[in-house]
């Protein structure tokens, strides 16, 4: 068994990565229903999206047309779309300069409990940031934080029959003005990017 890494180069529409994710999840669920089928390898999708606001499953169907219109108005940085997602968390932004990673695997097959799984993406981000001289931590709130007030990575996951989907959005060098339109993951004004942190390695060293 290997861990496959599917990196989508450049900027990609959110819907493209979402369809790819859904396909991989469906294959894992099909194997769980019929073990005679080949067991898919665990996969991680990484990408940068064209500007998009997504809402979590708690907000699906509750975002008004007026709110959607406000989020998708043209700005000096361009125009974003709006999508609903089945991940945890509230409305947030994805776009250029943010690395999104979606790990897709069967937790039971790998002996990982759902409770332990929630910590693993955050642990990976904390270790990765440390390699670039950015000290981060957990707080009582979801995600990875530079300090108690500034979040550098959002976390929003989904589990179905112990199959994971969605994941993290790490702010490497996004335009933070996009976040001004929302209460990012329910925590207003608490967003930071790596390039504004005290990184020992320049932003150019980050492989996007």
Residue of 55, 129, 153, 185 marked active site: 185
Sequence spans of domains, the chain: 4-31+52-192
SS3 of residue 77 by DSSP: coil
Residue 116: active-site member? no
156 is in an annotated binding site: yes
pLDDT, mean of residues 12-21: 97
pLDDT digits (tens, 9 = 90+) for 136-193: 999 888 899 998 888 899 999 999 999 999 999 999 999 988 988 876 444 455 565 5
123, containing H or E segment: helix 114-131
Going by C-alpha positions, the residue among 120, 117, 110 that lies closest to residue 39 is: 110
The reported pTM is: 0.86
**Residue 168, annotated ligand binder?**
yes
> Closest Cα partner for 167 from 80, 88, 60?
88
CA distances (Å), 143 to each of 97, 147, 154, 182, in order? 18, 12, 5, 17
Q: What is the pLDDT of residue 193?
A: 59
Q: Is 104 annotated as a binding residue?
A: no
To the question of whether residue 155 is assigned a binding role by annotation, the answer is: yes
Confirm or reject CATH 2.60.40.10 for domain 4-31+52-192, answering yes or no: no
Once rounded to an integer, what is the mean pLDDT over residues 37-46? 95
């Amino acid at each position: 068994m290997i861990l496959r890494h599917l990196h989508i180069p450049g900027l990609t529409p959110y819907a493209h990565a979402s369809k790819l994710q859904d396909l991989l999840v469906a294959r894992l669920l099909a194997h769980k229903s019929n073990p005679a089928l080949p067991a898919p390898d665990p996969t991680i999708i990484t990408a940068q999206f064209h500007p998009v606001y997504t809402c979590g499953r708690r907000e699906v169907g509750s975002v008004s047309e007026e709110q959607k219109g406000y989020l998708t108005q043209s700005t000096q940085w361009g125009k974003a779309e709006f999508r609903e997602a089945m991940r945890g968390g509230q409305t947030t932004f994805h776009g250029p300069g943010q690395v999104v990673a979606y790990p897709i695997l069967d937790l039971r097959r790998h002996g990982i409990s759902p409770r332990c799984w929630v910590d693993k993406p955050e642990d990976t981000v904390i270790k990765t940031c440390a390699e670039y001289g950015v000290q981060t931590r957990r707080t009582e709130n979801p995600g990875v934080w530079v300090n108690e007030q500034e979040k550098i990575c959002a976390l929003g996951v989904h589990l179905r029959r112990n199959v994971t989907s969605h994941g993290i959005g790490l702010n490497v060098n996004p335009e933070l003005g996009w976040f001004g339109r929302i209460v990012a993951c329910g925590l207003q004004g608490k967003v930071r990017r790596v390039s504004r942190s005290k990184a020992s390695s320049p932003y150019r060293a980050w492989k996007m």
